[in-house]
Amino acid sequence: MKRLAVYCGSASPEDPRYLELARDVGAGLAERGIGVVYGGGRLGLMGAVASGALDAGGEVIGVIPDALANSEVANHDCTELHTVGGMHERKQKFTDLSDGFVTIPGGVGTMDELWEAVSWAQLGYHTKPVGLLNAFGFYDHLIAFNRQMAEVGFVRPAHQGIILSEETLSALLDKMESYRPHTPIFQMKASDL
């Protein structure tokens, strides 16, 4: 994995652990020689991931919609900063530029990015690992919900291993490096669906 898209919040929660985690993720990726592709902002966890990676000598590629770039939240310290027309184009660029996805704590936008990466993997638009960093138990309920969807039958057995979850970055990256793509829906027979 040469580059990973990092999905996270643009907010700065009161609990300082979240910003510290984001900085550590950026630094940890840089120390392993993995470039960061992220939302291109300088605020919140996004900015902390970028700062952590840049301070550790890593590559940071930002992808920001023009509406946000024009509102002065763009991080011009990035190695590269791509301005795109909208959110759909942004997520496509994340997919094109990265070898996988890591989601750390965030809000609605982060969830949108995570679920789209999972959905695209199920369908076969990409075969890249989708990692979920469950630091501080932040995603315990989401992991339980994903398991419930599988138990009820809304997530096919072949796709139940798409989300790779760990509590530490090192364990998550190890799991992502050994990921073997599943059979996507596009390659399944109607009887398998």
Q: pLDDT tens for residues 145-154?
A: 999 999 999 9
Report the CATH number at residue 89: 3.40.50.450
Q: What are phi and psi of 49, to 5 degrees?
A: -60, -50
pTM: predicted TM-score of the whole model, two decimal places: 0.95
Q: pLDDT tens for residues 116-158?
A: 999 999 999 999 999 999 999 999 999 999 999 999 999 999 9
Residue written as tokens 């890591």? 102
- Residue 124 DSSP label: T
Number of domains present in the structure of the chain: 1
Q: What are phi and psi of 63, to 5 degrees?
A: -130, 110
Instruction: State the Cα–Cα distance between residues 10 and 116, nearest whole angstrom.
Output: 18
Q: pLDDT tens for residues 51-93?
A: 999 999 999 999 999 988 877 789 999 999 999 999 999 999 9
Domain that holds residue 133: 3-192
Confidence of residue 15 (pLDDT cuts 50, 70, 90): very high
